Structure 1
Amino acid sequence: MEQQADQKPKVIIVDDDRETREMLTLALELEDFEVAQAANGLRLISILHVDRPDVILLDVMMSWIDGFELCRSIKKNEEFRDIPVIFVSAKKTPEDVREGYEAGAVDYFPKPVDVDKLVARIGQLLEERRRS
């Protein structure tokens, strides 16, 4: 999907912790991103069909379906598999990080998240997509 020059890049934050969603939303909006929030995977699925994001930020530990499972579902879906997924999670053992990449994520940021690094990584992903 072509991004219009005047459109802000869209990021969806999927995390059951409202404080985390609010903090990330504020940080990303300050960097000129359009941000949507979803408290769980069900909400994400409904948003995906209405307002396709450029990047998905995904927590691992959530109710209904965990982030790894949700990421695998997104990557199996023909329509959404090309949307980059970045995990932002308190689960940060090497096994967790490996599972995140195996589920299809392009990156994995442990909480508390370094917002500057996260914003830089999102910018890098958007630039790579623009070039391809």
Structure 2
Amino acid sequence: MGHSKPHRPTALVVEDDDIQREMLSLMLEDRNFEVLQCEDGETAALALKMKHPTLMVTDINLVGKMDGVDLAHYAQQQNADMRIIVISGRPLPRPLPPGAQFFTKPVYPTALLAATKR
């Protein structure tokens, strides 16, 4: 008889910088998240539809046509209960959906991890 693995929440990390994406992913994996990584909004939108993550961490500036703010609004339409964290080194270009959190870079790991527990 097989043993089932305990359910791990899924997080989606969307960042076009490889090093930052990997750093965020490792931090979340240490918190027992299964992590999906994307570098652009279009791929992330597909991951949102197919994998139904409970948490998304996205940069604002992404390669492709969709930026992180667009992606945050799309994610909330897909799952109103999803925790959404948006990070950027620049000010927000337009409002985020209600409940989404914004962090300026550099993001301190303790602040980001506290936001994932909401």
Per-residue CA shift, 1:80-126, capped at 9, x if unaligned?
A: 233221102111x3xx28x3xx3215211111111111111101x2x
For the aligned residue pairs, the C-alpha RMSD in angstroms reads 2.0
3-state DSSP class of the match of 2:8?
coil
Quote the residue 2:101 is aligned against: 107
| 1:87 aligns to 2:80 (yes or no) | no
* Cα drift, residue 36 of structure 1: 0.8
> AA paired with 2:96?
A
1:16-35 equivalences under 5 Å are 16-35=16-35
Quote the residue 1:118 is aligned against: 112
* Cα drift, residue 45 of structure 1: 1.4
Count the aligned residue pairs: 112
Quote the residue 1:128 is aligned against: none
Gaps of 5+ in 1: 1-5, 126-132
In 2, Cα distance between equivalents of 1:11 and 1:51:
9
Gaps of 5+ in 2: 1-5
> AA paired with 1:55?
L
TM-score with structure 1 setting the length: 0.75
In 1, Cα distance between equivalents of 2:73 and 2:50:
20
Provide the identity percentage. Answer: 28
3-state DSSP class of the match of 1:62?
coil
Quote the residue 1:44 is aligned against: 44
* Cα drift, residue 66 of structure 1: 1.3
| 1:54 aligns to 2:48 (yes or no) | no
